Amino acid sequence: MVTENKSLKSQVLRSNNNIKNLSKAVNDLEQYSRRDCVEIRGVPYTAQESTDEIVEKIGELINVEIEEGDISINHRLSDGAIT
């Protein structure tokens, strides 16, 4: 029983270390996947809108040149924000 207990404790410790490392790896990947994400709030919804055009227009208003090729994808979120 003593040997089995030591073995199980060692196994739990290794598992905990693996979980910690995997959690960090997942967090790092999530952060990397959001590296070019921008969320824009306060833009009223209009029928037949083009979120690309909205983003480009906002860029113009703040003196930032945004071309169509600069946008990988954008869409409205359920709360109305554009991301």
- Give 48-66 pLDDT, tens digit per residue: 999 999 999 999 999 999 9
Regarding whether 76 and 57 lie in a shared domain, the answer is yes
Regarding whether 75 and 45 lie in a shared domain, the answer is yes
Identify the domain containing residue 46 by its residue range. Answer: 36-83
CA distances (Å), 10 to each of 3, 21, 24, 34, 77, in order? Answer: 11, 17, 21, 37, 46
Regarding whether 28 and 7 lie in a shared domain, the answer is yes
Regarding whether 70 and 30 lie in a shared domain, the answer is no
Regarding whether 41 and 31 lie in a shared domain, the answer is no
Report how many domains make up the chain: 2
- d(C-alpha 2, C-alpha 68), whole Å: 67
Report the Cα 5 to chain-centroid distance in Å.
Answer: 42
Residue 37 has pLDDT above 90, yes or no: no
pTM beyond 0.75: no
